[in-house]
Amino acid sequence: MKRREFLAAGAAAAVALSSRIDLKAEVTDSTYDGKSANQQANAHLCLCSQLGIIPGKDVEEKFAKMKAWGMEAAEFGGDVADPERAANYKKALADAGLKAAAVCWGSHGGDLMSFEKERKQRGTDDLKKVLEGAGILGCTGVIYVPAFNGQSPLTNQEIRKMLLDDFPALADFAAECGTTIIFEPLNRGEAFFLRQVADGAAIARDINEASEKKCGMAVMGDFYHMSIEETDMMGAFISGGKLLKHVHLAGGVSNPRRTLPGLNQSRFVEGFRGLKYIGYTGPCSFECGCPGDLDREEAIQNSLNFLRKEYELAVI
């Protein structure tokens, strides 16, 4: 069957089978009438960081520096799965006047995207533990990668199906903990599955629709990965829309690679336009390196100032 015949046959069948609407009716949805989708008046650049790059002998010292430098939140690691540790972090955050951003968890070795029952169960149990810790701490979500390259025998289609089969229940579990599971699209060098924000957003949407609470799955964008995989940062973030719950800040592939923003040639204006357009107020968090010959305290503050200027330049 040729393509146009296929389409024609499909259209005819759909018309014949469907209950007919009133064809004379006006399209009455007034959502769009004269209103822009531009939410920039509500947008806000909420700068934060993973803890590793922040100098300091303990978490209290790190938080104090972050607060002093104008950061608003902190991104954690998988150790928040320990409830006691989560509670301690929560107190330290409150003392410092910071909020909790996301937990950077990863793929758990790809265990959840496996046909081996025990392996899958291990991954699922650990994800639940970290979701509980994230809930205690008040984190916006737990960052999840279905599989890094080589970690899963499944094809893209099979991974997508497994996510749709398994994750509605996990998304509801996350929502019950008061948090979310956040897909992180990576670049092809790290993961062949899930490389664009629009794809992650569409899978998250489909999982939410198949879940009870409809709100447990989300997506994030990482400027480094996006610099490789996206054709347009603004388009990508708009496709993330209300499902976008986290952003990683890092310079792209120019030298030095994946560095503090402002230390290589990567610009952030195009992406920030997208974040402004959707009225994004969630965390924008450092996940990047700092060249060893720089004064790290100075380099981080320079980077924050660079990002603030980029955000100002992001005219829609």
Subset of 284-303 contacting a copy of itself (CB under 8 A): 287-289, 291-292, 294
Q: Are 274 and 241 in contact (CB under 8 A)?
A: no
Q: Is 68 exposed, middle or buried (0-12, 13-18, 19+ CB in 10 A)?
A: exposed
Please give the structure tokens belonging to residue 136: 């205690």
Residues 166-185 touching a copy of itself, rule: CB under 8 A, are none
Rounded Cα distance between 198 and 230, Å, is 9
Residue 158 identity: E
- Single residue of 72, 111, 132, 230 touching a copy of itself by CB under 8 A: 230
Number of residues that bind a copy of itself (CB under 8 A): 84
Helix (H) or strand (E) holding 157: helix 156-176
Is the Cβ of residue 46 or residue 238 nearer to a copy of itself in the bound state? 238
In whole angstroms, the minimum distance from the beta carbon of 50 to a copy of itself comes to: 8
165 near a copy of itself (CB under 8 A)? no
210 near a copy of itself (CB under 8 A)? no
Q: Are 76 and 103 in contact (CB under 8 A)?
A: yes
Selected range binding a copy of itself among 56-64, 88-96, 121-129, 305-313, rule: CB under 8 A: 305-313
- Single residue of 19, 117, 118, 150 touching a copy of itself by CB under 8 A: 19
Whose CA is closest to 303, among 69, 119, 111?
69
150 near a copy of itself (CB under 8 A)? no
Residue 4 identity: R
121 near a copy of itself (CB under 8 A)? no
**Tokens 């010959």 belong to residue:** 293
Is the Cβ of residue 71 or residue 278 nearer to a copy of itself in the bound state? 278
In whole angstroms, the minimum distance from the beta carbon of 4 to a copy of itself comes to: 6
Selected range binding a copy of itself among 32-40, 41-49, 119-127, 169-177, rule: CB under 8 A: 32-40
**Tokens 């120019």 belong to residue:** 254
CB atoms within 10 A of CB 28: 5
40 near a copy of itself (CB under 8 A)? no
Q: Are 124 and 114 in contact (CB under 8 A)?
A: no
Is the Cβ of residue 77 or residue 138 nearer to a copy of itself in the bound state? 77
- Single residue of 56, 138, 178, 235 touching a copy of itself by CB under 8 A: 235
Query: What torsion do the CA atoms of 82, 85, 91, 97 make, to the nearest 10 degrees?
Result: -90
Residues 84-113 touching a copy of itself, rule: CB under 8 A, are 104-107
